[in-house]
């Protein structure tokens, strides 16, 4: 049985949820596949001046439903996650915002990347038209543990796949089952067919989802071992399908000699411990000049933080296990103990750059939770060679006031991360058109794609090229009169 636990007490909450059997999972995926046919045929956006049905309007209805039910949603989630009212209200708003963003993406139309090359006599070239279309099947989504709304049933994978025109089946996370079930109920009420969003439970059902012939793509946010396990199951399929996994990330931060010191230590400590260190963007590595005063400031800032309960007992056990690895380093600071059955205490360790380089790669592995490593250096010229040896990350940050001083470091970091930050902190991923939330392995399995922001829809689209196709059979986006008014490239020229 899938049981819900309160991280504050360790006690069960509510009734257990039975795991989904293989037969039930098959039926749920097949129902989603059947519902997806009509959903793919539903226009992404309304024709100018029209009031017909569209996927954009449905996504906005989902967003409205999430907002309307926020009171019940955050309370149920808090009982399972101990994340608190402020965080959870904000996360429901973020989830709703993702659906609204993709409604705007559909109305913009640029995501279809419509291209028209008219036929020419000399040289003889046929009429060619190309655009992106939804994957012809069901998208499987593995919900994340650390964001019960924004990366779970109501998360960006679900929102972007529905926007693309795909039905979705989510493998719910055991850490917040009641929240997942309630989210599914709220979203389904706003969909034209409830079967467009399926929900399955348990490891067996998760395997069935990945292997099902009607599933044409999978999104996942979680651990490296979890991602590898899903990829292994995909490799067993007779037909390959794309896998978009967001996995581990240490999010290095490099402080150069010219960096402003005011607020630096406090900013790092806040980012390190945000959400009890359970963000995929918490900064796990901090490179700083050998400066006794700066180290004291960092130690004091982390010592002033307070721990809290992690989301599940398993995550706490994993954090404590990783702390054993880090305990070989010098302990720089320890925060105040947190309260609750799954509580942990913030930790900060330190090591010199040469010793750090000698201990790679193990010393730079992710410790998921409120723990970080400060790496001290004498000469900034030695940094690029060491940074080059780091694994890929979702983010990389530079603190400096002199861009010229940062040139070499920046060149390395822009190849090591999907998002690079100047004089800021990586926690907080804006749901915007320009956001990229992905990066080189092991931060993600597909660094060309993002799981946050408008471009996330591209994961669930495939291009189709039409050669000398009758105008009556062309999609509206590729007809000469462009009835939807989408941006297009016509004979090599971008038109709006």
| C-alpha dist (Å) from residue 267 to 202, 218, 271, 396, 422 | 39, 36, 6, 15, 13
Whether 407 sits among the annotated catalytic residues: the reply is: no
Main-chain dihedrals φ then ψ at residue 106, nearest 5 degrees: -65, -40
Main-chain dihedrals φ then ψ at residue 375, nearest 5 degrees: -110, 120
Is residue 412 a contact partner of residue 381, using CB atoms and an 8 Å limit?
no
Is residue 351 a contact partner of residue 375, using CB atoms and an 8 Å limit?
yes
Strand partners, 373: 285, 349
Residue with tokens 């330190």: 350
Strand partners, 4: 13
Whether 367 sits among the annotated catalytic residues: the reply is: no
| Secondary structure E strands in 257-392 | 285-289, 308-309, 330-334, 343-344, 347-352, 371-377
- Strands 167-171, 138-142: pairing is parallel
**Residue 332 CB neighbour total at 10 angstroms:** 19
Q: Which of 60, 91, 246, 366 is catalytic?
A: 246
Is residue 347 a contact partner of residue 307, using CB atoms and an 8 Å limit?
no
- Residue 459 CB contacts under 8 Å (≥ 6 apart), including other chains: 160, 161, 164, 217, 219, 242, 244, 446, 449
Cα separation, 406 vs 369, whole angstroms: 29
Q: List the structure tokens of 389.
A: 């040896």
Rounded to the nearest 10 degrees, what angle do helices 22-41 and 203-211 cross at? 50
Q: Which of 166, 183, 280, 367 is catalytic?
A: 280
Could you tell me where the DSSP H helices lie in 346-477? 353-358, 383-387, 407-416
Please report which helix (H) or strand (E) contains residue 313, including its range: helix 313-326
Q: Would you please indicate which residues are annotated as catalytic (active-site) residues?
A: 246, 280
């Amino acid at each position: 049985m899938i049981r819900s636990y309160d991280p504050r007490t360790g006690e069960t909450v509510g009734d257990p949820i039975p795991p989904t059997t293989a037969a039930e999972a098959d039926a749920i995926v097949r129902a989603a596949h059947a519902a997806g046919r009509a959903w793919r045929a539903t226009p992404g956006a309304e024709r100018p001046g029209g009031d017909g049905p569209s996927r954009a309007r449905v996504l906005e209805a989902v967003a409205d439903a999430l907002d309307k039910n926020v009171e019940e949603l955050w309370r149920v989630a808090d009982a399972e996650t101990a994340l608190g009212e402020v965080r959870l209200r904000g996360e429901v708003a973020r989830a709703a915002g993702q659906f609204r963003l993709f409604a705007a993406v559909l109305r913009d139309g640029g995501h279809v990347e419509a291209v028209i090359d008219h036929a020419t006599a000399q040289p003889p070239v046929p009429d060619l038209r190309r655009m992106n279309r939804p994957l012809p099947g069901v998208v499987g989504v593995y919900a994340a543990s650390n964001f019960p709304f924004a990366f779970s049933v109501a998360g960006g994978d679900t929102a972007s796949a529905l926007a693309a025109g795909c039905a979705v089946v989510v493998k719910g996370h055991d850490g917040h089952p009641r929240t997942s079930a309630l989210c599914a109920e709220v979203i389904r009420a706003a969909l034209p067919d409830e079967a467009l969003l399926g929900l399955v439970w348990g490891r067996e059902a998760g395997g069935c989802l990945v292997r099902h012939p009607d599933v044409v793509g999978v999104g996942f946010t979680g651990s490296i071992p979890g991602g590898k396990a899903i990829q292994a199951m995909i490799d067993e399929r007779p037909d390959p399908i794309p896998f978009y996994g967001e996995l581990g990330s240490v999010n290095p931060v490099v402080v150069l000699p010219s960096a402003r010191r005011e607020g630096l230590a406090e900013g790092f400590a806040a980012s390190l411990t945000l959400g009890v260190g359970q963000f995929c963007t918490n900064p796990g590595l901090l490179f700083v000049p050998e400066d006794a005063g700066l180290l004291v400031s960092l130690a004091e800032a982390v010592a002033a933080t307070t721990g809290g309960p992690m989301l599940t007992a398993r995550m706490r056990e994993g954090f404590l296990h990783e702390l054993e690895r880090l305990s070989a380093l010098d302990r720089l600071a320890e925060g105040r103990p947190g309260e609750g059955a799954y509580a942990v205490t913030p930790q900060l360790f330190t090591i010199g750059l040469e010793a750090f380089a000698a201990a790679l790669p193990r010393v730079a592995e992710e410790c998921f939770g409120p723990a970080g490593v400060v790496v001290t250096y004498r000469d900034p010229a030695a940094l690029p060679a060491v940074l080059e040896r780091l694994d890929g990350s979702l983010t990389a940050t530079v603190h400096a006031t002199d861009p010229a001083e940062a040139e070499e470091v920046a060149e390395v970091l822009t190849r090591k991360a999907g998002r690079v930050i100047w004089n800021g902190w990586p926690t907080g991923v804006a749901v915007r058109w320009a956001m990229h939330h992905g990066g080189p392995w092991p931060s993600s399995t597909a660094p060309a794609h993002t799981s946050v922001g408008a471009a996330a829809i591209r994961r669930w689209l495939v291009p189709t090229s039409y050669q000398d196709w009758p105008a009556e059979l062309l999609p509206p986006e590729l007809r000469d009169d462009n009835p939807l008014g989408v941006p297009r490239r016509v004979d090599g020229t971008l038109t709006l």
